[in-house]
Amino acid sequence: MHAWGLNNTREASKEHWAAEQEVVGPGLQAVMLWSELCVESADGAVLTDLDGNRVLDFQGAGGVNSVGHANPRFTRALADELTTAPVGAFGSGARRDMAESLRDFVPEPLDRVQLYSGGTEAVEAGLRLAKSVTGKTEFLSFWGGFHGKTLGSLALTVGARTGLGPLPPGNFSTPYANCYRCPFKLTAPSCGFACVEQARETVRQNSTGDLAAIVVEPVQGRSGNVVPPEGYLKALKEVAEEFDALLFVDEMMTGFGRTGETFAFVRDEVTPDIVTVGKGMGGGYPVTGVLSSAGHMAARPFSDPSASSSSFGAFPMACRAVGTVVDIIVEERLVDHARKVGGELLDALIPLVDEAPLVGDVRGAGLAIGIELVADKETREPVSKAVLRETFMALLDAGVLTMTGGNTLRLYPPLTIGEDQAREAADIIVRTLTGGSR
Ligand SMILES: Cc1ncc(COP(=O)(O)O)c(C=O)c1O
């Protein structure tokens, strides 16, 4: 039996955290500020803090931790690269290896990748690409969506913009297929995708005839890993085509195996025009990208020399990280593994809807799982921030570090997690959320 949880005093961590806070800005994620976790070592899905407490990391930096902390193959590849890599986006062995690995992994016709180092930067590049391809400037995005915090992406990100206006014009938003909180009070599939019809109507009512793209997460991460019904992306693609616009799928959180598919859009058998990727793609190395077809990427001004580059895009270290992550995912069959273990985790957690007083909904796709907490199961009123924090801390205390988003606990274990460890985490979560009654 492992002794998971905050069993030791946290004196060393407290002293360390306080020393850092004398210099570090306030912009850390809420869960980091709540947990004040100071990590001494990390291995796979396990974090050990400065006081020797061991926790199962189901936060995974929101899906960044794809191949496990300190994965030996990954760290060796990056360490080797570091000893020789020049600074700059030169042709390199790492870039060629990455190109070959990606060629087989990314579905047709997305045969071009442009690399960046932050998620919002890739989304901004995707918006510029959509404008270049269509010659149009408007975007449709979704309630509860998250695409970043720079000006263009912030205009697509509802809920993080208070006090930051004015935002660029030509951005409209419409309800997502969040069935637990359907604004039309309907049920899928009998609703006939009323939210998609609403998306169509939102464009009709707001657009000046200049819609460049519909920008959508295939699973809404920050809203609590909200999984839309099958066929949603396909229906949105039809709407995009009706307006002669592109389908831009933001797979920052979902891509590279997270949802039990190589990319989440594969489930819907749809071909997006633009896909943004990041997080798990680099296994912890800060690298993101835009995927599209050669035809789209040739559009100007996107394809003009220097028009789409960035200081750190496609440096050898970034390319080595991506190539190695893809090779690990493929050779260790982590996409299938994520589907299997994610399915088992979900099966273990779904009964919480009946058994745990605060759990209103449990949903997931592969190893992206959401446990939505409500104050009242009838009205579905979200729990307060204080209750969310208490629940998060109770789980951490018992040995499972989670992520939050709105009033939802989000789980992102590494794709490499063993079935035993996933079961242990599920047991801890069930025990904690049911107050020990199961
Ligand atoms: C779907 C999605 N797009 C974009 C971003 C922005 O990424 P970054 O925080 O690296 O700018 C995120 C970050 O969580 C995300 O989940």
Within a domain: residue 401? yes
Pocket flag, ligand 1, residue 412 (CB < 6 Å): no
Within a domain: residue 66? no
Q: Are residues 52 and 116 in the same domain?
A: no
Pocket flag, ligand 1, residue 290 (CB < 6 Å): no
pTM, 2 dp: 0.97
Q: Are residues 117 and 154 in the same domain?
A: yes
Which of 61, 66, 15, 2 has its CA nearest to residue 416? 66
Q: Which atom of ligand 1 is nearest to the CA of 120?
A: 11
Pocket flag, ligand 1, residue 252 (CB < 6 Å): yes
Q: Which atom of ligand 1 is nearest to the CA of 145?
A: 1
| pLDDT tens digit sequence for 318-329 | 999 999 999 999
Residue finishing a domain among 276, 297, 331: 331
Which residue among 120, 225, 274, 276 is best mutated to probe the pocket of ligand 1, counting the most ligand atoms within 8 A of its Cβ?
120
- Rounded distance from Cα 252 to ligand 1 centre (Å): 6
| pLDDT tens digit sequence for 256-275 | 999 999 999 999 999 999 99
Q: Are residues 154 and 272 in the same domain?
A: yes
Pocket flag, ligand 1, residue 253 (CB < 6 Å): yes
Summary mean pLDDT of the chain:
96
Q: What is the mean pLDDT of residues 405-409?
A: 97
Within a domain: residue 65? no
| Residues spanned by the domain of 24 | 11-57+334-433
Cis-peptide, bond into residue 166, ω within 30° of zero: yes
pLDDT above 80 for 1: no
| pLDDT tens digit sequence for 52-108 | 999 999 999 999 999 999 999 999 999 999 999 899 999 999 999 999 999 999 999
Determine if residue 39 is left, alpha or beta; phi over 0 gives left, psi from -120 to 50 gives alpha, anything else beta. beta
Measured CA to CA, the distance from residue 423 to residue 344 in angstroms comes to 8
Q: Are residues 289 and 409 in the same domain?
A: no
- Rounded distance from Cα 37 to ligand 1 centre (Å): 22
Measure the CA dihedral 259/262/267/272, to 10°.
Answer: 120
* Nearest CA, atom 7, ligand 1: 119
Within a domain: residue 165? yes
Measured CA to CA, the distance from residue 168 to residue 150 in angstroms comes to 11
At residue 160, the pLDDT reads 80
- Rounded distance from Cα 278 to ligand 1 centre (Å): 8
At residue 159, the pLDDT reads 77
Within a domain: residue 1? no
Q: Are residues 327 and 339 in the same domain?
A: no
Q: Are residues 341 and 209 in the same domain?
A: no
Pocket flag, ligand 1, residue 124 (CB < 6 Å): no
- Rounded distance from Cα 127 to ligand 1 centre (Å): 14
- CA distances (Å), origin 369, targets 83, 149, 215: 38, 24, 22
- Rounded distance from Cα 89 to ligand 1 centre (Å): 23
Q: Which atom of ligand 1 is nearest to the CA of 118?
A: 10
Q: Are residues 163 and 297 in the same domain?
A: yes
Pocket flag, ligand 1, residue 118 (CB < 6 Å): yes
Residue finishing a domain among 306, 331, 356: 331
